[in-house]
Amino acid sequence: MKYILKHIQILLACFSLNVYSQNSLEIIQYPDTLFTTNDSFFVKGLVWEKEWILATTTSDTVDLGTDGFEGNNIMVWTQRDTITIPYVNAPFEQKVLIPIASKNDTTIYKLRFNAQSSKFSNSIISDSRGKIVFQIPEIYELANIILFLSDCSVLTKNHFENSVYSKNVLNYFSKFKNHPLIQILNKKCLNGNHWSIYYGFRENSICYKFEENNLIEYATQYKHVYSDNTYIQGGEFRNLVYLVQDFINQSDYRSFFKSNSKYYKQLETRQNELQPIQNMWNWLEKEFPQKLDCYKIFFSPLIEGSHSTQKFYKGFFKKPEYQECIMFINSPEKIDANVEYSEVVKKGLMSGIVFTEIDHNYVNPTSSENFNAIKSLISNKDIWATKEAQENYRSEYSIFNEYMTHSLFCLYVTESYSEHDRIKIVNQRIKLMERRGFIKFDQFNEKLINKLKGRKMSVYEMYPEIIEIMKEIK
């Protein structure tokens, strides 16, 4: 007997009760048993190239799944029965336990759809495609202020202490340092997980927005940004959101943000002036096959460093309908404080912050295609990175990608700036990389630029040759 899932209404009812709650339902038991005549069954996802043949005799439970996205489904069939399970729990994980019985044994097939990190509506995609956005989001700034008041900021050393703005923050919020939210963050960070707490709280804040009556809701297109030790969608920020709401109410945060709106707008304008994103975007997509649809730069005047980038998409990750990149960086105030730099050099130096985040979206997948060659090249990691650098970049792949992303920035500068300005910008990048512990960067960068100067092929096409010439570095 073949049939399409008769119980789709059950699935929809179970998974749709409260998909935005903290503990939304993730697992249900399929109400029937599928029968097989030869101890095996078949599974095929909507976008899979082939089906999988699984056995009922090897384990009590068989786990096989795919990424969740709207419209996706998994078909399960035997010689007797066929069912199709749709993904209906967006943006969360969905699991369905399906009994598969044969003459000799019974197993439970754990059909799994992985959670989505974002959920884009068609209107959001239409409004965002082709756009470049510079913004200090209101709740993101709230997260940075809360961290600034806590020991997390002290431990990460990722803040400005003596700026006019940071002093204003302290003057306004210091009386709330004993708020339960700050105390809990202090305790969590002092337990040794301060970087996980810091990023998980800071970056997952963009999953929230203000609704009526100053209430914050888990209601933006972003559902999960940074995976921390909470292991939940929305991370540490969502985990503590009830205390975040109380902090907002007690401190009247929105009044503070509103009073600084002119200052924030000035910074957003200045960030735009210093960041020729479109030029970088065009250059990278000329050199690599990957395509993105939107870039957003979120920043805070309280961040000194610790930049990161995240990519979000709609649809299947190999062939997405839409891809968006968000970068979390510092404000332009630090670079503007260097009065000895010309405006052009300031643009070049500030561009390096974003470029070396952007190009991970192009370099990383290309490196994955050349994984074995990179692993062989960086087999002795001590040649390439100090022990301290290896604490954050532990694999051959991650070490190579740092070299490549920063060296490509130097190539971009070489091809986009005058020789006089190029020297200043590239020298600063070499010094930065050496301070970070990438001890062969000067040699790597020289070889890459010489190899690619006057090239007739793209960087993507020449990737194997780039890896090969780096074998000369000893």
Residue 225 DSSP class? -
Q: Name the amino acid, one letter, at 32.
A: D
Which residues share a beta bridge with 310? Answer: 326
Question: Is the whole model's pTM more than 0.75, yes or no?
Answer: yes
State mean pLDDT over 96-102: 94
Residue 176's alpha-carbon distances to 150, 244, 247, 302, in angstroms, are 10, 12, 8, 18
How far is the first Cα of the chain from the last one, in angstroms, to the nearest whole number? 66
Model confidence at 76, pLDDT cuts 50, 70, 90, reads: very high
Chain segment 182-206, per-residue pLDDT in tens: 999 999 998 878 999 999 999 999 9
Q: Exposed, middle or buried: residue 403 (CB in 10 Å: 0-12, 13-18, 19+)?
A: buried
- The SS3 assignment for 145 reads helix
pLDDT exceeds cutoff 80 at 17:
no
Q: What is the pLDDT of residue 445?
A: 96
Residue 190 DSSP class? I
Least confident of 67-81, 149-163, 176-190: 149-163
Q: What is the pLDDT of residue 26?
A: 67
Cβ 144 vs Cβ 302: under 8 Å: yes
Residue 116 DSSP class? P
Residue 164's alpha-carbon distances to 56, 171, 175, 241, 302, in angstroms, are 67, 11, 18, 29, 11
Q: What is the pLDDT of residue 25?
A: 52
State mean pLDDT over 20-49: 82
Task: Please give the Cα distance from 195 to 407 (Å, whole number).
Answer: 27
Q: Which ranges of 189-233 would DSSP assign to H, the alpha helix? A: 194-203
Q: Name the amino acid, one letter, at 406.
A: H
Chain segment 396-449, per-residue pLDDT in tens: 999 999 999 999 999 999 999 999 999 999 999 999 999 999 999 999 999 999
Chain segment 328-355, per-residue pLDDT in tens: 999 999 888 888 889 999 999 999 999 9
